[in-house]
């Protein structure tokens, strides 16, 4: 286990990556792997170091499970209320016919445009590693989460409407395989936009409801893309014209309030995991060099786990 953690250090991974040979398909040979310098403390210390680092991984995995549970709960509540129509008080509401089939009385049929204050694509960025701005790309959107760490810096001036805001729903809108993927912005972002392959859907109100609605609509977004293989596009107009069953404003508000608290807990757990990973990655070289004692690190992980 000690060797696993040693070779997994970001600096070691970067070094190995830089040694890869081959232009079109970089690969590693046994000579490169044999040339890696590994520092081995005494075996009992190796075992203690591996135990400390695996404890960090256990904490990260536990938080990851909690995140998945919260995300699953949010979608199950959405489907219970707005797909199966078992919302609070549904027993006292009769069903009526609509163009989309039976819906609760008082609900309407509307388009996604009616729930949004802005729907549009992002910009063609000017990439600049020294710039202050960030541009989100399609790689940043996966599993209904936004990974800002994969965004790139850019210097182009961004129209005010295309500056990403907390609550915005982002939809991948180009290419096969990524088309239709949805993520909602649950944090305040500074000087951030999206590139032209992503559509921004900005809720007029009740972002918690619109965000879970968009996740539910993912298969539809994927299915309404047009174009040739590899060049499929999800047009802004098609997103705007997506027809949905629209619940009363009061029900959207109640749901949004509940789901917002879920996402606050999720963001807290994600931040905690980021801190745990950063601490774990910093620990190994300090433990091997003796800069931090194993006893001190064991006390720190015991405190973090409590």
Say if 29 falls within a structural domain.
yes
Q: Are residues 73 and 129 in the same domain?
A: no
Neighbours of 128 (CB within 10 A): 13
What phi and psi values does residue 117 have, to the nearest 5 degrees? -95, -15
Cβ neighbors of 112 (< 8 A, separation 6 or more) are: 119, 201, 217, 239, 240, 241, 242, 244
**CATH code at 141?**
3.90.220.20
Q: Which two tokens stand for residue 267?
A: 């963001």
Hey, is 95 helix, strand or coil? strand
Residue 145 sits in the same domain as residue 211: yes
Domain assignment of residue 254, yes or no: no
- Whether residues 239 and 112 share a domain: the answer is yes
- Residue 230's domain comprises 108-246
Domain edge (last residue) among 227, 246, 265: 246
Tens digit of each residue's pLDDT, the chain (306 residues): 888 877 777 777 787 777 776 666 677 677 777 777 777 788 888 888 889 999 999 999 999 999 999 999 999 999 999 999 999 999 999 999 999 999 999 999 999 999 999 999 999 999 999 999 999 999 999 999 999 999 999 999 999 999 999 999 999 999 878 999 999 999 999 999 999 999 999 999 999 999 999 999 999 999 998 886 667 899 999 999 999 999 999 999 999 999 999 999 999 999 999 999 988 888 888 887 778 888 888 888 887 776
Residue 27 DSSP label: B
- 236 within a domain of the structure (yes/no): yes
HSE, side-chain direction, 13 A CA sphere, residue 23: 0
Do residues 56 and 27 lie in contact, with contact meaning Cβ atoms separated by under 8 Å? Answer: no
Asked if residues 134 and 163 have their Cβ atoms less than 8 Å apart, the reply is no
198 and 159, same structural domain?
yes
The reply to whether 125 and 197 lie within a common domain is yes
Q: What does the pLDDT read at residue 229?
A: 63
Burial tier of 303 (Cβ tally within 10 Å: 0-12, 13-18, 19+)? exposed
Q: Are residues 234 and 137 in the same domain?
A: yes
Query: Can you tell me the distance from the alpha carbon of 172 to that of 196, in angstroms, rounded to the nearest whole number?
Result: 10
Same domain, 85 and 122: no
In angstroms, the CA 286 to CA 302 distance is 18
Residues 183 and 66 in one domain: no
Instruction: Give a yes or no: residue 206 inside a domain.
Output: yes
Same domain? 68 vs 86: yes
Q: Are residues 236 and 293 in the same domain?
A: no
Instruction: Tell me, yes or no, whether 252 lies in a domain.
Output: no
Do residue 89 and residue 156 come from a single domain? Answer: no
Phi and psi at 27, nearest 5°, equal -145, 165
Asked whether residue 180 is domain-assigned, the answer is yes
Separation CA 58–CA 261 (nearest Å) = 25
Same domain, 192 and 304: no
Judge whether 171 lies within some domain. yes
Number of domains in the chain: 3
> Is 197 within the bounds of a domain?
yes
């Amino acid at each position: 286990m000690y060797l696993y953690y040693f070779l997994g250090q970001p600096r070691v991974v970067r070094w190995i990556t830089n040694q890869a040979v081959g232009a079109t398909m970089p690969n590693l040979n046994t000579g490169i792997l044999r040339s890696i310098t590994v520092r081995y403390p005494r075996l009992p210390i190796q075992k203690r170091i591996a135990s400390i680092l695996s404890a960090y991984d256990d904490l990260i995995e536990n938080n990851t499970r909690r995140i998945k549970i919260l995300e699953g709960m949010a979608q199950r509540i959405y489907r219970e209320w707005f797909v199966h129509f078992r919302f609070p008080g549904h027993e006292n509401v009769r069903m009526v016919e609509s163009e989309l089939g039976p819906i609760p009385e008082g609900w309407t049929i509307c388009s996604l445009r009616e729930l949004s204050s802005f729907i549009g694509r992002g910009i063609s960025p000017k990439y600049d590693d020294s710039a202050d701005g960030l541009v989100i790309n399609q790689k940043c959107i996966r599993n209904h989460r936004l990974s800002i760490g994969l965004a790139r810096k850019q210097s182009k001036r961004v129209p005010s409407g295309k500056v990403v805001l907390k609550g915005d729903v982002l939809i991948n809108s180009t290419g096969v395989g990524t088309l239709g993927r949805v993520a909602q912005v649950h944090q305040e972002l500074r000087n951030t936009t999206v590139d032209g392959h992503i559509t921004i859907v900005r809720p007029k109100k009740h972002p918690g409801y619109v965000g879970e609605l968009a996740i539910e609509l993912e298969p539809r977004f994927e299915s309404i893309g047009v174009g040739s293989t590899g060049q499929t596009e999800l047009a802004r107009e098609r997103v705007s014209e997506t027809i949905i069953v629209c619940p009363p404003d009061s029900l959207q508000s109640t749901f949004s309030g509940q789901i917002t608290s879920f996402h606050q807990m999720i963001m807290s757990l994600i931040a905690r995991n980021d801190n745990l990973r950063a601490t774990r990655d910093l620990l190994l070289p300090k433990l091997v060099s003796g800069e931090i004692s194993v006893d001190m690190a064991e006390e720190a992980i015991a405190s973090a786990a409590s």
